[in-house]
Amino acid sequence: MKVDLEQLAVQQVGEWITRGAPDRAIPEEPMPAIAAMRLVEEELAVEGIPERNLATFVTTWMEPEARRVIDDNLHRNYIDHAEYPQTFEIQQRCIRMLAELFHAPGETTGTSTQGSSEAIMLGALSLKLKWRQRREAAGKPTDNPNLVFGGDVHVVWEKFCRYFDVEPRIVPLQAGKYTVGPEDVEPHVDENTIGVAAVVGTTFTGHADDVVGINNLLLELKEKKGLDIPLHIDGASGGFVWPFLYPHSEWDFRLEQVRSINVSGHKFGLVYPGIGWLVFREKSDLARELVFTENYLGRADDTFTLNFSTGSSMILAQYYNFVRFGKEGYRRIMEIMQANAKSLADDIEGLGKFQIIGKDEETLPLVAFNLAEEHAYDEFDIAFQLAAERGWMLPAYTMPPNAQDVKMMRALVKLNLARSLVDTLHEDIGAAIATLEKKGPVTESERKRVKTSVTH
Ligand SMILES: Cc1ncc(COP(=O)(O)O)c(C=O)c1O
């Protein structure tokens, strides 16, 4: 008997196999669960492979036991504290643990968020509202708030300024200087400054702003001019790296003007997306106007997030990591990543073409590098060639103003880039360069396919 293979496939997995995936209207008819699952899986098959994705800071691997915690709790709505009071308690434990890690002097407050972006929006809103309170109490105008930060910050800081009507005062970078310090910040602060934001672990090169210097500047302004300007630390990545790799380096609540810190649980907190944290130095650093008390769900609760219903799994997974690894476990993991990043940096340097950016400075476990000299090809060509030949996603990008002429490449070295993969990557970068030397730079259409986004 002749079997109609197409008919058979359609019967087994659904019409999409020959007609394509539904992409405009919700289909009129249901399809079997197995068919829907296959459809979704097949659609995603073209996407990046986590082990070869060196672009993202976000966690792409967790232990099977952690995945089980996540799976078992997907139904839990975090905001429903009446139904899930222990989930709320566990979230509070995480906040207390982070406050202790960041050396908060006493009792504090904070919240879990969708990621550092939400944490930054909330932290910066609190700065704005607290500034307004101070100005109103002094009988001064409140129509012109500004926020000071370096060009090395993540785009979310500018987003905050646009969404919430605050003037961004951005300290430009320069070629060869990719973080900011007190001398850069000083000309921009005045009585309308709601706060200064400094980054520990920048998105562009992984280094930290001079937080100690900026703190000293703000202390001086407080003493000499009576301007009490708070400092917020964007520790999206660095908040989980500095305490373990550079424990004696002061960047957190050990510094007096540091009033709030955000950190992404889903980056070096080693949890899948999306989880972030916002921690205040003291309870009084949280603007009271941000807090809403509601009792829709059967219990009066204070909340100050931008969303309401949200999942609990990643909060529970964060707690799982805290108790599973302990401080010693986090330290060892960070050291492993750092050791592999150092090997990769040495290997890349050994190719004789590149310079490593800020090699001996405190940095995230990553390698930021660029070509030491002009060639017929550039960093974007290398990124393309490496992706085309071996599927690595190693982004090329230009630095923010006024260093926009500087091209950069950046490889994140996470737990799933073990030493043997580092060696393979090294060989593959060498091979991509050899190809480019032979055939010349990539074409315009190839160039359009280069991975350039570094903002996550
Ligand atoms: C320094 C910095 N701040 C903020 C963010 C935004 O964080 P999230 O992706 O957790 O919202 C990032 C993301 O890469 C970052 O690197």
Please tell me the distance between residue 353's alpha carbon and the centre of ligand 1 in angstroms: 30
- The mean pLDDT value for 238-263 works out to 98
Please tell me the distance between residue 297's alpha carbon and the centre of ligand 1 in angstroms: 32
- The mean pLDDT value for 105-115 works out to 96
- The mean pLDDT value for 11-29 works out to 85
> Which of 113, 152, 156, 234 to mutate to test ligand 1, by most ligand atoms within 8 A of the CB atom?
156
User: Considering only CA atoms, which residue is closest to atom 13 of ligand 1?
Assistant: 456
pLDDT of residue 451: 63
pLDDT of residue 455: 59
Please tell me the distance between residue 120's alpha carbon and the centre of ligand 1 in angstroms: 9
Pocket flag, ligand 1, residue 73 (CB < 6 Å)? no
Pocket flag, ligand 1, residue 203 (CB < 6 Å)? yes
- The mean pLDDT value for 76-100 works out to 94
pLDDT band at 15 (very low <50, low <70, confident <90, very high): confident
Written in H, E and C, the secondary structure of the chain is CCCCHHHHHHHHHCCHHHHCCCCCCCCCCCCCHHHHHHHHHHHHCCCCCHHHECCCCCCCCCCHHHHHHHHHCCCCECCCCCCCHHHHHHHHHHHHHHHHHCCCCCCCCEEEECCHHHHHHHHHHHHHHHHHHHHHHCCCCCCCCEEEEECCCCCHHHHHHHHCCCEEEEECCECCECCCCHHHHHHHCCCCEEEEEEEECCCCCCCECCHHHHHHHHHHHHHHHCCCCCEEEECCCHHHCHHHHCCCCCCCCCCCCEEEEEEECCCCCCCCCCCEEEEECCHHHCCHHHCEEECCCCCCEEECCCCCCCECHHHHHHHHHHHHHHHHHHHHHHHHHHHHHHHHHHHHHHCCCEEECCCCCCCCCEEEEEECCCCCCCHHHHHHHHHHHHCCECCEEECCCCCCCCEEEEEECCCCCCHHHHHHHHHHHHHHHHHHHHHCCCCHHHHCCCCCCCCC
pLDDT of residue 302: 76
Pocket flag, ligand 1, residue 456 (CB < 6 Å)? yes
Please tell me the distance between residue 168's alpha carbon and the centre of ligand 1 in angstroms: 18
Pocket flag, ligand 1, residue 115 (CB < 6 Å)? yes
pLDDT band at 200 (very low <50, low <70, confident <90, very high): very high
> Which of 114, 152, 154, 237 to mutate to test ligand 1, by most ligand atoms within 8 A of the CB atom?
154
Residue 48: pLDDT over 90: no
Residue 3: pLDDT over 70: no
Pocket flag, ligand 1, residue 276 (CB < 6 Å)? yes
The rounded mean pLDDT for the chain is 94
Residue 1: pLDDT over 60: no
What's the pLDDT tens digit per position in 158-182? 999 999 999 999 999 999 999 999 9
pTM of the model: 0.94
Residue 13: pLDDT over 90: no
> Which of 118, 203, 260 to mutate to test ligand 1, by most ligand atoms within 8 A of the CB atom?
203
Residue 367: pLDDT over 70: yes
pLDDT of residue 319: 98
pLDDT of residue 452: 64
Pocket flag, ligand 1, residue 340 (CB < 6 Å)? no
- The mean pLDDT value for 388-398 works out to 95
Residue 66: pLDDT over 80: yes
Please tell me the distance between residue 225's alpha carbon and the centre of ligand 1 in angstroms: 33
pLDDT of residue 323: 98
pLDDT band at 268 (very low <50, low <70, confident <90, very high): very high
Share of the chain above pLDDT 90, in %: 84
Residue 138: pLDDT over 60: yes
Pocket flag, ligand 1, residue 156 (CB < 6 Å)? yes
Residue 280: pLDDT over 90: yes
